[in-house]
Amino acid sequence: MIVNFDQIRGHRKILELLTRVVHTKRLAHAYVFSGLEGIGKRLTALALAKNLLCSSGGGKSCGTCSACIQVARGNHPDLMMIEPEKGVITIDNIRNLKRELSRKSFSGGYKVCLVDDADKMNLQAENALLKTLEEPTPDTVIILITAKPYRLLPTVLSRCQHLKFQPLALFDASELIMGGVAGVGKDDALLMASLTGGSPGKSFTLKVEQLKGLRDSWINQSKFCAQAKDENFFVGEENFLSDKENVDLKLNLLRLWYRDLALYKIYGNFDCVLNKDKAEEIASQSSALSLERILNALLGTEKYSATLEYNANPQLTLEAILMMLNPKRDFFWSKKI
Ligand SMILES: [Zn+2]
């Protein structure tokens, strides 16, 4: 489904800017839409395409003209979509794009091209795209959509207007989750919104039980490490991060867990706690740890999750975070592990 700008949650500043440039016809020839997965980048790009291609010409799509219907069906001749095939966007994909852009617009207006997961372009594809960006054809708009803009060549980034989409506010995200996932209650929706860092799209692909299963395996590991009395630190527990799948999500899970432990430690109640169904465990772990150790673990999670973005080893990252929790931490540092 392709919506209009006014039906998109969040991203107000970006939507205002795009509305303005569509009305004044002062669009950049290329944009990068970057930000977390599942927060509305592609939705916004499609809504922009619809506004630009609508034959009413008012800068806002009418939803009923043949152009709007073709965009909604995905077969408008002036709208191109490029996506990775088997995880990669190749030079052939970009050559097709160039060929299409060199043709005259069918409807006499704009030609719009969306490149989804643009960071999946291989180097040849990206260099070919760079040529196109250097010699833009009139009335064409290229939108590169990516959650990992740092993987794009700086030369490509510098030739596009970069719009950075922020995660949705928890309230907006949780309302979208309740609307999109059947049978999810308010508390679970808020937990899912928090665990996915404000990404309804991610929540739609994961089941609430799957998320809770991941969380519970973490709670066990956290408990074990917090109670460890010696260097036999990781014995008996499978490393939670050794499976690289959903690493971002798992780190959010850690963050939320320590956040809840800290809030309970400070306030002594569950009002602001997000893992509400784990009240007993929160009370028990929170009372077993000092506030300093909880905050250290929280800060450690922030610090190390930033390094994971750049492909640091997840297992070592987790071990470093867990060391923040362990009372024998000084012993580990002194051994320079
Ligand atoms: Zn229309």
Number of domains in the chain: 2
State the distance from the centre of ligand 1 to the C-alpha of 69, rounded, in angstroms. Answer: 7
Helix residue ranges per DSSP H, the chain: 12-24, 41-53, 66-73, 91-102, 123-134, 154-157, 170-180, 186-195, 200-205, 208-227, 247-267, 279-288, 291-308, 314-325, 329-334
Q: For residue 236, how far is its CA from the centre of ligand 1 (angstroms)?
A: 61
Residue 194 lies in a domain: no
C-alpha of residue 179 to centroid of ligand 1, in Å: 27
| Phi, psi dihedrals of residue 64, rounded to the nearest 5° | -120, -20
In 242-313, alpha helices (H): 247-267, 279-288, 291-308
Is the domain of 230 the same as that of 130? no
Same domain, 90 and 156: yes
Q: Is residue 30 located within the same domain as residue 142?
A: yes
Q: How far is the CA of 47 from the centre of ligand 1 (A)?
A: 11
Whole-angstrom distance, CA of residue 63 vs CA of residue 72: 9
The confidence score (pLDDT) of residue 330 equals: 46
User: Is residue 215 within 8 Å of 258, Cβ to Cβ?
Assistant: no
In terms of domains, do 227 and 298 share one? yes
| Residue 68 CB coordination number (10 Å) | 20
Please return the burial class of 217, using the count of CB atoms within 10 Å of its CB with bins 0-12, 13-18 and 19+: middle
Same domain, 157 and 260: no
Residue 192 belongs to a domain: no
Half-sphere exposure of 134 (CA within 13 A, CB side): 8
Shared-domain flag, residues 219 and 159? no
**Distance between Cα 78 and ligand 1 center (Å):** 14
pLDDT, residue 239, reads 59
Q: How far apart are the first and last CA of the chain?
A: 52
Same domain, 88 and 233: no
Last residue of a domain, one of 111, 143, 164: 164
Distance from Cα 71 to the centre of ligand 1, integer Å: 9
Which pLDDT score is estimated for 335?
42
Distance from C-alpha of 327 to C-alpha of 122, rounded to nearest angstrom: 46
For residues 265 and 286, the answer to whether their CB atoms sit within 8 Å is yes
CB < 8 Å & 24+ apart, contacts of 277-284? 277/187, 277/212, 278/215, 278/219, 281/219, 281/223
Q: What is the CATH number of the domain that holds 286?
A: 1.20.272
Q: What is the CATH number of the domain that holds 9?
A: 3.40.50.300
- Residue 258: name the closest of 284, 210, 293, 211 by CA: 293
Query: 84 in a domain, yes or no?
Result: yes
DSSP lists the bridge partners of residue 115 as 82, 144
* Ligand 1 centroid – CA 29 distance (Å): 22
Q: Is residue 242 in a domain?
A: yes
Which residue type is seen at 164? K
Structure tokens at 12: 């107000």
Instruction: Give the CA distances from residue 1 to residues 18, 69, 242, in Å, rounded to whole numbers and listed in that order.
Output: 20, 11, 37
Domain ranges, residue 64: 5-164
Given a cut of 50, the residues of the chain with pLDDT beneath it are 235-237, 330-337
For residue 54, report the distance from its CA to the centre of ligand 1, in Å.
Answer: 4
How many whole angstroms separate alpha carbon 186 and alpha carbon 174?
Answer: 7
pLDDT in the model for residue 316: 74
**What tokens appear for 73 in the block?**
């069906």
**Boundary (domain end) residue, out of 164, 182, 197:** 164
Q: How far is the CA of 50 from the centre of ligand 1 (A)?
A: 7
pTM of the model: 0.79
Please tell me the distance between residue 111's alpha carbon and the centre of ligand 1 in angstroms: 15
- Same domain for 160 and 211, yes or no, is no
Could you tell me whether strands 111-115 and 79-82 are parallel, antiparallel, or unpaired per DSSP bridges? parallel
Residue 174 lies in a domain: no
Taking the centre of ligand 1 as the mean of its atom positions, its distance from the CA of residue 141, in whole angstroms, is 18
Using the mean position of ligand 1's atoms as its centre, give its distance from the Cα of residue 145 in Å: 24
In a domain, 171, yes or no: no
Asked if residue 34 is part of any domain, the answer here is yes
Q: Please list, in sequence order, all residues whose beta carbon lies within 8 angstroms of the beta carbon of residue 287, skipping any fewer than 6 positions away.
A: 265
Residues 35 and 152 in one domain: yes
Cα 59 to averaged position of ligand 1 atoms, centre (Å): 10
Residues 132 and 10 in one domain: yes
90 and 237, same domain (yes or no):
no
Q: Are 194 and 256 in contact (CB under 8 A)?
A: yes
Give the pLDDT of residue 157.
96
For residues 107 and 52, membership in a common domain is answered with yes
Distance 56 CA to ligand 1 centre (A): 5
Give distance in angstroms: CA of 70 to centre of ligand 1.
Answer: 9
**Do the domain assignments include residue 176?**
no
Q: From 135, 164, 193, give the residue that closes a domain.
A: 164
pLDDT tens profile 124-167? 999 999 999 998 888 999 999 999 999 999 999 999 999 999 98
- How many angstroms is it from 107 CA to the middle of ligand 1? 12
Instruction: Give residue 20's pLDDT.
Output: 94
CB count, 10 Å around CB of 64? 10
